[in-house]
A and B are shown apart, each in its own frame.
Chain A
Amino acid sequence: MTAALLQVERLSKNFGGLQVSADIDMELHPGDRCALIGPNGAGKTTFVNLVTGVLSPTAGTVRLEGRDITGLSAQARVRLGLVRSFQVARLFRSMTVREHLELAILQRERRTWALFASVGRTRGLAGEVAGLLATMGLGAVADTAVGQLAYGQQRLLEIALALALKPKVLILDEPAAGVPHSESQRILDALDRLPPDLAVLMIEHDMDLVFRFARRIIVLAQGRLLCSGSAADIAADERVREVYLGSRGHAAHRA
């Protein structure tokens, strides 16, 4: 058993009297391919925001490689290797794909204060960018402004940007959101090429994608951890079916 990269212990968040996350425990190990699912309002987004440092928890701790990072800012966590992608692609619309990756790599290397250096002549940069472009299948659009990319390609770039930061833990917030079903295969192919020792946590609604990608699934319901297990366990779990189908079954019954 390898040591946990990311450890979340009894993480809770209250907004006033409303408890949106309660006592969530979770661990991610190197090479994990984990999915976080749950019905709308289960607290998935809050959980991601707590782990990445956008929100600070009411109670509980988050550890990265054993180090307590609960009090660190989102930026500091990124620099330590806890990186997320965004549900709605947040990109710099007038910049090209190449410039995005250059910026991310330079940021990782803390070289964005080089006032008189040349981006084009930064050693090793062009090669690394080319590698990322190839991994994500974005080579043909490297010099296209992001505003002109198809949505699926923007999603791929979003993942590429996260990868450019050389994360240890990668949180993918609905990587296929808004992508037509026919194209989600390309996203999945790209996810298959992620570095094997990277720990990945994916938040996703598309169950097809979840079952094909994840080797372990965590289910949240009403801010609590409902259960976790392999895809087969989850598919067979009565409680999961209930939280997903409960309200819908009820509606169907009434109709």
Chain B
Amino acid sequence: MTAAVTKAPAGATAAAITAIPPRPSRAFRDAVAVALIAGGGLAAYWIFPEDLGLLTRILATCLYVLSLDLVLGFCGIATLGQAALFGTGAYAAGIAAVHLVADPILLLVVGGVAGGLMALATGALVLRAHGLTLLMLTIAVTQLLQELANKLRWLTGGSDGLSGVEPDPVLGLFRFDMYGRTSYLFALAVLVVGVVVAQRIVRSPFGLACRGVKEDPLRVAALGGSPRGHLVGMYTVSGVFAGVAGALTAVTSGIVGLDSLSFTWSAEALVMLVLGGAGHLYGAVVGTVAFMGVHHVLASTNPFHWMLFIGLFLMAIVLFAPGGITGGVARIAGLVRRRAP
């Protein structure tokens, strides 16, 4: 039998045309991805010691875009309201830091809980709708919250932003220094933990059910499941992630502004996710690093026309690599694997 000669993977039919080495297992690929993120993050720490502020912002944004991937990539919920969840976490952590606690990890918990509760409350309402209606509702929620934050000046600082977030040292040991080293490493650790937890969730029975809901909610109902329950569930999980990302931004930057609840911030998350590729988890990280990296380089070299180049970059990705950067790379890898002798 030819399969034996070409060493095709077990279970492949005789139709395994050419020798395709088996794809590495999912667990292995997940572990490699985590190692790459941690390794890449540490490498960036040594290579760009002058840019740790920007890099910290990128890491927190990665977590934020990851939270969007959980709902868009794994549940198919089209939302332009992710900033509502991020901003809720950021303001909750910021307000808690000014008035209540200063422990950075506790502040992340506060942000996560706040983001999760906000997602649960708004998700239970808006996820009755679909498509364009849902999109509009998520935008409306974000606008409402932004206006609320603007009006509650005594609590949020209004349009001046909330400042005076001065967290204690991490674990009581690592002081937030003026060079942003602690901030950066703290953010990297949080992102790595976030990715591991997200991997766990999307590979769980819950994650499997959500993928089913994404493809055909009525079929899930015909299996006895509750599609909307799972949507609200994943939206809540996503709210926790977005809330932690917001709190992380507040803790590492020291301020929270109204832009954290803006429509633009929601839209940028979507752009970064589509750029990286939705539904992979890693697409969120790749897309964020690519978008913010290119943004930074172009904006500093050509402050007048950088938006044009960002636009062209996006169009090229959407036209030539519909699965985003990660989708494109996976396709090329697939071709190479098939060509390999």
Contacts and interface: CB of A to CB of B under 8 A. Distances in A.
A126 B66 CA distance: 30
B133 interface: no
B37 to A, nearest CB: 20
A107 interface: yes
A74 to B, nearest CB: 7
A154 B298 CA distance: 50
Given A111-B205, A116-B200, A116-B201, A95 B222 contact: no
B311 interface: no
B219 A91 contact: yes
A90 interface: yes
Binding site of B, secondary structure by majority: helix, strand, loop or mixed? helix
A92 B11 contact: no
Nearest to A94: B215
A103 B224 contact: no
A204 to B, nearest CB: 19
Contact of A106 (B203, B209, B221): B209
Contacts of A106: 205, 208-209
A113 to B, nearest CB: 6
Contacts of B222: 74-75, 78, 84, 86, 90
B212 A119 contact: no
A142 interface: yes
B237 interface: yes
B42 to A, nearest CB: 27
Given A90-B222, A112-B230, A165-B223, A103 B11 contact: no
B225 A75 contact: yes
Interface in A63-107: 74-75, 78-79, 84, 86, 90-95, 99, 102-104, 106-107
Contact of B206 (A93, A99, A113, A120): A113
Contacts of B301: none
Nearest to B221: A75
Interface in A154-205: 161, 165
Contacts of B280: none
Interface residues of B, number: 28
Contact of A90 (B13, B216, B230): B216
B212 A95 contact: yes
B218 interface: yes
A165 to B, nearest CB: 7
B233 A113 contact: yes
Contacts of A111: 205
A119 B205 contact: yes
A106 B226 CA distance: 13
Contacts of B221: 74-75
A107 B201 contact: no
A194 B83 CA distance: 51
Contacts of B230: 112
A107 B225 contact: yes
A255 interface: no
B8 to A, nearest CB: 12
Given A112-B230, A113-B233, A140-B11, A119 B211 contact: no
Contact of B11 (A78, A122, A142): A142
B11 A112 contact: no
Contacts of A120: 27, 203
Interface string A111-145: 11111111110100000000000000000111100
A122 B225 CA distance: 18
A75 B219 CA distance: 10
A104 B200 CA distance: 20
B204 A107 contact: no
B207 to A, nearest CB: 8
B200 A92 contact: no
B218 A90 contact: yes
Interface of B: 11, 13, 27, 200-201, 203-209, 211-212, 215-216, 218-226, 230, 233, 237
20 contacts: A75-B222, A75-B224, A78-B223, A78-B224, A92-B211, A95-B212, A103-B212, A104-B223, A107-B225, A108-B223, A108-B224, A111-B205, A112-B208, A112-B225, A118-B203, A118-B204, A119-B205, A119-B207, A140-B11, A161-B223
Given A107-B220, A108-B224, A116-B204, 15 more contacts: A74-B221, A75-B225, A78-B224, A79-B224, A90-B222, A93-B215, A102-B208, A104-B223, A106-B209, A111-B205, A112-B230, A115-B201, A115-B206, A118-B204, A140-B11
7 nearest A-B pairs in the assembled complex, by CB-CB distance: A78-B224, A112-B209, A92-B215, A106-B205, A79-B224, A114-B205, A107-B223
Interface of A: 74-75, 78-79, 84, 86, 90-95, 99, 102-104, 106-108, 111-120, 122, 140-143, 161, 165
